[in-house]
Amino acid sequence: MHIIKRNILCSLLGSFLITAAAASALFFATAKVNKAKYPVFGVDVSNYQGDINWQELESQNVSFAFIKATEGSGHTDESVRRNLDRAASTGIRVSAYHFFSFDSAGDTQAENFISSVSPEEIDLPPVIDIEYYADKRSNKPSKEETEKILRPLIERLEAYYGVKPIIYTTLPVYFRYIRGNYSDCPLWIRNVNCEPDLLSWKFWQYSDKGVLTGYDGDEEHIDLNVYNGSAEDFEKEFPMPNNKKAIS
């Protein structure tokens, strides 16, 4: 009964806004992960991690990585080209993510991402990262406004890459915009408090305070993630290209 109550509480956190002070007092920035249950481990990176030694990341059992590519309709991450090129020489399976803007059209956001990432450069589906930023936390866009931007973005990426994009999101954004509307897109959920086991997720970002070696950016931490399944499940769902090695 205590476990059930705890799990319900964790999932319902997305329905409430709590201050940063309260959050730091109540929760840690890294959830506990059952590594036997979730053995496939990965990271997500951006220009904040600086110059990345991808071979060194691979040596720390990193099996997949999501690389920031673009943001909105006009911004490209400074390190995306270098990261995609260097990660390609490892056995790490990679994808790229687009940081969603509530303030520009979905079609132009899609073109920004497409112009930066070719289908041949990624091994996993492309990712749309939708979360609150700046004033959107207190001035939340309507569901209807968001749908008019997000739906064309999803459709354009699916048409170009031939696969449904993954949606990365936080619990508050999931409950407001995603739940029940985009269930055909794989879910990558952020929850650094506890396992989101009442949701149907594909990837789980369980920490934003990870520390590994192999990067020299101003940000000392790196986001940590797991795949929802075994290594065999991962290989079956996301077959490795011939130029890369399968995880063991």
The angle at the Cα of 209, spanning 207 to 212, to the nearest 5 degrees, equals: 100
Quick one: average pLDDT of 185-211? 95
Query: For the chain, how long is the longest CA-to-CA vector?
Result: 51
The predicted model gives 112-130 an average pLDDT of 97
CATH code linked to domain 2-237: 3.20.20.80
Tell which residue, 152, 151, 149, 74, has the closest CA to residue 116: 74
Please give the pLDDT value at position 192. 95
Bridge-partner residues for 66, per DSSP?
44, 95
CA atoms within 13 A on the CB side of 75: 14
Query: What is the C-alpha separation between 164 and 133, in angstroms, rounded?
Result: 24
Angle, helices 106-114/143-161, rounded to nearest 10 degrees: 30
Whether 41 shows a pLDDT value over 90: the answer reads yes
- pLDDT, average across residues 103-120: 98
Kindly compute the dihedral angle of the four CA atoms of residues 41, 46, 49, 54, in this order, to the nearest 10 degrees.
Answer: 50
Contact in structure between 63 and 244 (CB atoms under 8 Å): no
Percent of the chain with pLDDT over 90: 82
pTM equals 0.87
**Please, which pLDDT band fits residue 241 given cuts at 50, 70 and 90?**
confident
Q: Where are the domains of the chain?
A: 2-237
Q: Has residue 7 got a pLDDT over 80?
A: no
